[in-house]
Structure 1
């Protein structure tokens, strides 16, 4: 387990590619559950109910996994799905856990404090880092450049936020 955590830290530091993960559906399932749980924690820290946090996290994961599978399948790279999905979910879990601290500083609240500003800055930094990590994973999954992977990550993030917001309201 410790080796797996170290792998995801190194993946988030752009030092390891997703293809170094085992192509294990069991591992994919475990990481999917941890990412779903982490998404719930992030949502609840951002003042959502546990049910709304769960549903938003579930929709986002389903959207990401569907898009990844369809794109890999279209390019005849479907054999890379398990490792790519595991990498995306595992890095998402790690970055989600790191987001709990800045979110606890209430960066989107009505109080304009120095701590809230620090929380907003840290949260923005994590979003940018997450885009780079996703770009890194997509680079290896689709044999593209990091810039192309990051551009796809930004486009997907905009789409996912818009879609989830339209389903659940402005929360």
Structure 2
């Protein structure tokens, strides 16, 4: 795992693609579990472990595994699944760990009277989310053989669907 961290960092800097990660279904599974655990840690830090936790975890799991499986199969690149899932889950893990201090800082956020540090945390969170979108677009471009603009549209579209589905399931729960 220690030798994987520099590769994941290079992926997040858009210097390598998912094809440069080791082909290992076991590694992909481990990164998915780690990314889900980091998401749980963020939810705990933000005091958001409530009743809607299971639907959120299921949506996250679907977008880490099922969506890449489906998109890669549709494009005829099913053999790229392990590395694509590793790239998405690994970058999601790093994103969640980078977001953890922001979750801790904004746990008691009051929109009527935000603290200056909370406003700064919001801007940093927005930057991190934009960066994660760029990373996802980079991964999709390499994994699916798409032009960058199409990969950006796919990454943004998937984020919107994921957030919308999460909201819908939270309302249904």
Question: Structure 1 length as normaliser, TM-score?
Answer: 0.92
CA contact (8 A) 2:55 2:169 kept: no
- Is 1:94 the counterpart of 2:123? The answer is no
> What value does the CA root-mean-square deviation take over the aligned residues?
1.9
Residue 55 of structure 1: how far off its partner (Å): 4.5
Pick which of 55-64 and 5-14 moved more: 55-64
CA contact (8 A) 2:47 2:107 kept: no
Pick which of 92-101 and 102-111 moved more: 102-111
Give the equivalent residue in structure 2 for 1:61.
Answer: 61
5+ unaligned residues in a row in structure 1: which ranges? Answer: none
5+ unaligned residues in a row in structure 2: which ranges? Answer: none
Deviations, residues 83-126 of structure 1 (Å, cap 9, x unaligned): 10110000000011000112222188213110110010010001
Which structure 2 residues correspond to residues 2-151 of structure 1 after superposition, within 5 A? Answer: 2-49=2-49, 52-53=52-53, 55-106=55-106, 109-110=109-110, 111-151=113-153
Structure 2 CA distance for aligned equivalents of residues 6 and 107 of structure 1: 30
Residue 52 of structure 1: how far off its partner (Å): 4.2
Structure 1 CA distance for aligned equivalents of residues 50 and 23 of structure 2: 32
Please give the secondary structure, in 2, of the residue aligned with 1:169: helix
Give the equivalent residue in structure 1 for 2:170.
Answer: 168
- Relative contact order higher in (CA < 8 Å, ≥ 6 apart): 2
Task: After the TM superposition, list the runs of 4 or more consecutive aligned residues in structure 1 that deviate by more than 6 angstroms.
Answer: none
Please give the secondary structure, in 2, of the residue aligned with 1:48: coil
Residue 146 of structure 1: how far off its partner (Å): 2.3
Structure 1 CA distance for aligned equivalents of residues 50 and 89 of structure 2: 20
